């Protein structure tokens, strides 16, 4: 599980860095908003998420609650990304990245309790 958290953090870091370059986003089919502020804000948040996941993977037993909550947020993010990617004009790649986030989020939500021997409520409430 530790390696999964680390490599998903690397994925978020690389994806977030790619969002800083609008031409790269357009090349893969992402229609970005007119305001650069929103594009760069999302890029900063995704990069921060990647760094946070990489740091959490170093001591997963102590930081599992953070990763679990990130899993919850990734599942919620999937709903938004799927809507804007598949049903709006932001590009199917946004929906595909949402599907990847869903897989990662479910991996956290299902894998952390099994690998650490903790219940879902223990991870949600940060109990040992």
Q: What is the 3-state secondary structure (H, E, C) of 14-45?
A: HHHHHHCCHHHHHHCCCCCCCCHHHHHHHHHH
Task: Give the pLDDT of the chain (128 residues) as one tens digit per residue.
Answer: 999 999 999 999 988 888 888 777 777 777 777 777 877 888 899 999 999 999 999 999 999 999 999 999 999 999 988 888 888 777 778 888 889 999 999 999 999 999 999 999 999 998 87
C-alpha span between 56 and 108 (Å, rounded): 12
The pLDDT of residue 31 is: 72
Whole-number pLDDT of residue 35: 74
Alpha carbon distances (Å) from 81 to 19, 63, 88, 104:
15, 27, 10, 14
What is the reported pLDDT for 1? 94
């Amino acid at each position: 599980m530790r390696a999964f958290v680390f490599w998903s953090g690397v994925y978020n870091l690389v994806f977030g860095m790619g969002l800083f370059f609008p031409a790269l986003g357009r090349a893969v089919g992402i229609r970005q908003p007119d305001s650069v502020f929103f594009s760069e804000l999302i890029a900063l948040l995704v990069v921060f998420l990647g760094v946070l996941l990489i740091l959490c993977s170093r001591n997963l037993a102590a930081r599992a609650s953070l990763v679990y909550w990130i899993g919850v947020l990734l599942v919620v993010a999937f709903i938004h990304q799927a809507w804007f990617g598949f049903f709006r004009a932001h590009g199917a790649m946004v929906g595909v990245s949402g599907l990847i986030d869903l897989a990662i989020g479910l991996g956290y939500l299902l894998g952390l309790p099994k690998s650490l021997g903790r219940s879902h409520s223990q991870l949600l409430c940060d109990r040992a």
